[in-house]
Amino acid sequence: MAVYYDQQKYESLREEYSFLRYQSYDYHINNQMMSVKFSFSLDDKYFFYPSFEMPSRDFYRWDNIEKDQLDTLIFNIGMAELVSYWKLACPKKVYIAPHYIDDNQIKWWKKLYFNGLGEFFYLNKISTNVNDFMSIVVESDIPCKKLHSSLNERTLVPVGGGKDSAVTIELLRNKMPLIPFIINPRGATIDTVTAAGYEMSQAAVINRTLDPTMLKMNNEGFLNGHTPFSALLAFYSLLVATATNSKYIALSNESSANESTVPDTEINHQYSKSLTFENDFRDYVKNYISDEIQYFSFLRPLNELQIANQFSKFEHYHDVFRSCNAGSKTNSWCGKCPKCLFTWIILSPFLSHEKLMKIFGSDVINDESLKPILAQLKGEAEVKPFECVGTVEEVNACLMKNSQDDSFEILLHSYDDNNNLPSIFENILKNNL
C-alpha cells in the first residue's frame, strides 16, 4: 500500500499556503450544451478553472428553471469540486465568495470533506481532526434560493459501468420512465447503456474536466490522494434531475458500502457511498435545495452476494461491464488488482469457471501473484484494499460455499431494512429477490 507523504509535509504546506478561495462560477446555455467554469485560488499563487459541459438533449427543460435556482445547483457543485484542489496543500482556511452559507452548512461541508478524505489522510500519514483540519469563512451575503418545481415520476440512474448500475437499470427499466446518467462516458458506461436498450441520445451526459495546473502540481510534490467522487456525483445528479424534471435519483450502492475500512476510524474509504452520507445528503437537499427530489440507493438493502446473483442472470451485460479501475482507460480487466479478484470471487458461485475466464481473459483466482490481495480480502491482513470491494464475510462465504458453513445462504437471503427506498422501489426490489 503506497504512502505518499507524511505529517511534516502536510504541516509545511499549510504554513506556505494559508488559504483556498472559491472565487466564482460562470455558465452559458445554448442549443448545443450547457458549459460551466469554476474559479479557485490557492493563496493567490495558483489559479484553477475546473469545468464541465452538458451536451444538449431533447428532454432538458432549462426554461423551467429560474436563474437563481440554477445558481444554487451550480454553486453547490463547485463546493463539491473544491475539495480536490484543497488537498494539494490543505490550507487552514477556505474562503467562500459566491454565496452565503449558514453555520449548519459549514458544519455539513466540513464533515463531508473530512470523512471523504479519510483514505487521503490515512495513506499520507496525516493526523488531524474535523475541527482543526480547515475553517470555512463566508465572504458573501447573497443566499442561495431553494428550488420550487413540480417534478415527474421519472428516475435518474447514474451508470458507472460495473455490475451494480447494470442491475439497477435492468430491474427498473420496464417499470418506470428512466434516464441513464454518465459522467465522462467511456467504453463500459456507454456499452452498459446500449446493452440496456437505450441510445446515447437518451442518456444524460456530463463531461467533467479537471484543471491541468492541479494535475501538474500533483507531479511536483504537492499532496495527492482519494477524494469523495460519489459526493460530486450526488450534486451533479441534482442538476440533471432538475433539468429533466426527474423526481428520483437512484444510486446503486450496496449495504457493504457502510463498512468501516479506514483503520482506527468508523469511515469507509468510499464515505460518500455510505448510508451515513446518503442520509446527510438527503437532509441537505431538503433543507437547502429541494423538497421534491428524492436521492437514495436502490440496492442499499442488498449485499454484494445478492447483487452478483442478480447480475449473473443478465447475460447481455457480461461482456461489456467493467469494474477494474486500473483498466478503465483501456476498457479492460487488468487481472491483477483487488477489484478484478473480488469481482471474480463474488461472481464465482453463480457463473462457471469457463464463463469467468471469458469475462476476465485470465485465470484470476489461481494467479499466485494475487495471494497477498486475497489475504486482504479474506481479512487475514491488517488493512483491506482501498477499493470498492465487499466485506470479509461476503468474500469468505463465496470461497466456502460448498462447505458446511451456512453463511452463504444467510447472506443470500438477507435484507437490510435500514434504507431510504420509496415504497414503489422497495416493492420492485423485493419482487425480484
Q: pLDDT tens digits for 221-242?
A: 899 988 999 999 999 999 999 9
Residue 404 has pLDDT above 70, yes or no: no
Query: pLDDT band for position 200 (50/70/90)?
Result: very high
Residue 257 has pLDDT above 60, yes or no: no
Q: Do 153 and 247 belong to one domain?
A: yes
pLDDT score recorded for residue 415: 94
**What DSSP letter does each residue of 206-234 carry, written as one string?**
EEEE--HHHHHHHTTT-------HHHHHH
Query: pLDDT band for position 3 (50/70/90)?
Result: very low
Query: pLDDT band for position 2 (50/70/90)?
Result: very low
- For 210, the domain range is 7-142+149-297
- Per-residue pLDDT averaged across 315-339, rounded? 91
pLDDT score recorded for residue 17: 97
Residue 304 placed within a domain: no
Residue 310 has pLDDT above 50, yes or no: yes
pLDDT score recorded for residue 221: 86
- Per-residue pLDDT averaged across 332-359, rounded? 95
Q: Could you give the CA distance from residue 268 to residue 119 in angstroms, rounded to a whole number?
A: 8
- Per-residue pLDDT averaged across 156-166, rounded? 96
Q: Do 100 and 244 belong to one domain?
A: yes
Classify residue 147 by its DSSP letter.
B
Query: Amino acid identity of 194?
Result: T
Q: Do 201 and 117 belong to one domain?
A: yes
For 392, counting Cβ atoms within 10 Å of its Cβ (0-12 exposed, 13-18 middle, 19+ buried), the class is middle
Q: Do 216 and 327 belong to one domain?
A: no
Query: pLDDT band for position 10 (50/70/90)?
Result: very high
Residue 42 placed within a domain: yes
Residue 263 has pLDDT above 80, yes or no: no
Cell 450496496, located at residue: 254
Q: Do 372 and 327 belong to one domain?
A: yes
pLDDT score recorded for residue 1: 41
| Mean pLDDT, rounded, of the chain | 92
Q: Do 347 and 409 belong to one domain?
A: yes
Phi/psi for 180 (5° steps) reads -70, 150
pLDDT score recorded for residue 34: 97
Query: pLDDT band for position 402 (50/70/90)?
Result: low
- Per-residue pLDDT averaged across 143-156, rounded? 92
Domains identified in the chain, total number: 2
Q: Under DSSP, is residue 51 helix (H, G, I), strand (E, B) or coil?
A: strand
Residue 314 placed within a domain: no
Q: Do 212 and 263 belong to one domain?
A: yes
Residue 172 sits at the vertex; the CA angle it makes with 167 and 177, to the nearest 5 degrees, is: 140
Q: Do 331 and 287 belong to one domain?
A: no
pLDDT score recorded for residue 149: 78
Q: Do 120 and 267 belong to one domain?
A: yes
Q: Do 195 and 290 belong to one domain?
A: yes
Which value, to the nearest 10 degrees, does the dihedral of the CA atoms of residues 309, 314, 317, 323 take? Answer: -10
- Per-residue pLDDT averaged across 344-368, rounded? 96
Query: pLDDT band for position 148 (50/70/90)?
Result: confident
Q: Do 257 and 154 belong to one domain?
A: yes
Residue 217 placed within a domain: yes
Q: Do 134 and 51 belong to one domain?
A: yes
Residue 216 has pLDDT above 60, yes or no: yes
Residue 305 placed within a domain: no
Residue 422 placed within a domain: no
Classify residue 162 by its DSSP letter.
S
- Which range has the worst mean pLDDT, 73-77, 94-98, 324-328? 324-328
- Per-residue pLDDT averaged across 112-122, rounded? 92
